[in-house]
């Protein structure tokens, strides 16, 4: 096999370690990638900020494209197939990272967690890798949930529900792919009519794609009496953030719900394996994030206090919210857009709770620790 010329988004971690076996590896800025940069590139590796289509690749020698994301709405897959260009994504790589973000949001916003543990329900829209894992995690925690994904047969969903039933839940968490196809497009899935049904005792979370939630309509609803509480990780016009909307949400973050170190490495590994398969080579080894220090729990914590602490052990939602507000609010739009991307590019290392070792001195804590996917280490 002749050496391949590989160009990768600089935000993809460990790309040199995984792809040097195939040839030379260069990195670039994904959002500003131009066709001129691809004149001597065989393999292109991107993230969601790069639109990959005929305009970008028409005159290039690229023969394999990989995106280190689960979503593929930024890729013209049909055009790639028509040109015989290999393609791979990383579905499921960041699912647990997003699930832990959602649980952290629930734990952080007022009494949402208490209401759920007292019999409330989470309405989950989208039942792919993230939505289905969130449902399983909630079930393990003893929290009820309803699920909607009209693209799937109802028999494949646990507790299927209509959109109206979802919107009546105490927490609504959005996880659909961004699609414009009929009969169930997800762009502006929640617009003025749906948002009007939500009240001040409900929490709305969007950690999927920005345009799933009409941002102008949401801002209008949040300006009205008794608005729902809201946590946004994604924004309709990224990297632009509607500043008045950021001022009104409980927490806002710069599209980093799936940005755990574990998730990023898993995505890189999946792309390396896909390229090896495309080339007919042996599969890559597992991604090694390295073992993190053992986490400690105060032995007196139980119940909702314990669960809230578990949600905070690996992820500080308030810190991400603070960084975004400091970088964006009051800044000119051009500077704010640059700052948004910089927050993602320089995102601090974050590990997942699932798979982490947690020292337990109180045996009553074991069920909740295990329900969160962590590994119990006896005290």
CA gap 197, 250 in Å, rounded: 19
- Closest by Cα among 90, 169, 179, 104 to 134: 104
From the number of C-beta atoms within 10 Å of its C-beta (0-12, 13-18, 19+), residue 188 rates as: middle
CA gap 3, 328 in Å, rounded: 43
Measure Cα distances from 312 to 286, 353, 375 in Å.
27, 9, 16
CB atoms under 10 Å from CB of 240, counted, come to: 16
From 148, 238, 261, 352, active-site residue: 238
- Token look-up 């890729």 returns 75
From 137, 187, 255, 261, active-site residue: 255
For 209, residues 6+ apart whose C-beta sits below 8 A from its C-beta are 71, 73, 176, 177, 178, 186, 234
CA gap 216, 224 in Å, rounded: 13
**Is 312 annotated as catalytic?**
no
* Termini Cα distance of the chain: 53
From the number of C-beta atoms within 10 Å of its C-beta (0-12, 13-18, 19+), residue 280 rates as: exposed
Vertex 48, ends 214 and 198: CA angle to 5°? 25
From 31, 148, 209, 350, active-site residue: 209
**Is 238 annotated as catalytic?**
yes
* Catalytic annotation, residues: 209, 238, 255
């Amino acid at each position: 096999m002749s050496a391949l010329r590989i160009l990768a988004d600089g935000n993809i971690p460990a790309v040199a370690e995984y792809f040097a076996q195939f040839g030379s590896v260069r990195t670039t800025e994904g959002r500003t990638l131009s066709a001129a940069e691809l004149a001597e590139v065989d393999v292109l590796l991107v993230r969601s900020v790069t639109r990959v289509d005929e305009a970008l690749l028409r005159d290039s020698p690229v023969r394999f494209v990989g995106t280190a994301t689960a979503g593929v709405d930024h890729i013209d897959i049909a055009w790639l197939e028509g040109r015989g260009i290999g393609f791979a994504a990383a579905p499921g790589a960041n699912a647990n990272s997003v699930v832990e973000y959602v649980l952290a949001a629930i734990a952080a916003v007022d009494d949402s967690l208490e209401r759920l543990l007292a019999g409330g329900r989470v309405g989950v829209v989208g039942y792919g890798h993230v939505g289905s894992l969130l449902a399983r995690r909630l079930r393990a925690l003893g929290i009820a949930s309803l699920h909607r994904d009209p693209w799937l047969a109802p028999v494949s969903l646990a507790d299927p529900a209509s959109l109206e039933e979802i919107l009546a839940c105490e927490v609504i968490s959005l996880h659909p792919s961004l699609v414009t196809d009929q009969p169930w497009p997800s762009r502006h899935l929640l617009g003025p009519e749906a948002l009007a049904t939500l009240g001040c005792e409900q929490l709305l979370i969007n950690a999927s794609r920005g345009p799933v939630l009409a941002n102008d309509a949401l801002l209008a609803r949040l300006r009205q009496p008794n608005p729902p509480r809201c946590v946004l990780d994604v924004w309709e016009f990224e990297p632009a953030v509607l500043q008045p909307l950021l001022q009104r949400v409980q927490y806002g973050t710069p599209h980093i719900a799936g940005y755990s170190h574990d998730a990023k490495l898993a995505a890189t590994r999946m792309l390396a394996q896909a390229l090896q398969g495309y080339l007919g080579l042996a599969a890559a080894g597992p991604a090694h994030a390295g073992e993190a220090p053992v986490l400690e729990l105060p032995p007196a914590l139980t119940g909702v206090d314990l669960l809230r602490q578990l949600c905070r052990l690996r992820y500080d939602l308030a810190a991400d919210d603070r960084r975004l507000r400091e970088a964006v609010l009051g800044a000119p739009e051009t500077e704010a857009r640059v700052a948004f991307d910089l927050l993602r590019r320089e995102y601090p290392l974050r590990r997942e709770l699932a798979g982490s070792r947690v020292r337990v001195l109180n045996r009553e804590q074991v069920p909740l620790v295990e329900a969160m996917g962590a590994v119990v280490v006896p005290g």
